[in-house]
Chain A
């Protein structure tokens, strides 16, 4: 199975701050990577797919980048509604595998 190593496990950011979350794959996943946001008690919402494509309706302050084994999610200007858990998902090879998640809080 492809292992997805996500960091950091938790992050505290001030309003307006720009933050990044990383996912590293154990092998090349050819940009088959998605990012999700999960708010407390809710189901995950897709933010980014194919490494850098913004899902419809997602604010443009969210962006994804990366290639090969290294990927990142950036939030440009933290907003209160961005608090929650974030995780990555690789879709390059079965079984699909997830990162361990990042808890993002407002400082």
Chain B
């Protein structure tokens, strides 16, 4: 059974940094591209970016590219999202997803990030 478990969310002050993690199980992690997607409290979905199975290539949403970094550790079956200089508009539930045929086939349970002073 494919499982994706995110962690690392919480309340963070504007301008701070935060690193989210996603531990994968139930499939060969190093065979798949992986993605991060976020959903605002108003339910708007936004694709953040993805990373190649070997970690050698990433794609980002242009609006987030300068502040967000996606990485992975295949030895630990773990995907990361480093967020810097966070803003109130980054308040959202962040999902880790497995990428298959240019879509997201499995999603984690999500982790909430609230940016507020």
Interchain CB contact under 8 A, A95 and B95: no
* Chain A residues in 8 Å Cβ range of B43: 85, 101
* Chain B residues in 8 Å Cβ range of A78: none
Chain A interface main SS type: loop
Task: Number of B interface residues at 8 Å Cβ cutoff, please give it.
Answer: 23
- Give Cα distance in the complex from A32 to B59, angstroms: 17
- Chain A interface size range: 20 to 34
- Give Cα distance in the complex from A42 to B46, angstroms: 17
Seen from chain B, the residues whose Cβ lies within 8 Å of a Cβ on chain A are 35, 43-47, 49, 59-62, 95, 100-110
Given contacts A44-B104, A95-B60, 8 further A-B contacts (CB under 8 A): A49-B103, A50-B101, A85-B43, A89-B45, A91-B102, A98-B45, A100-B44, A101-B43
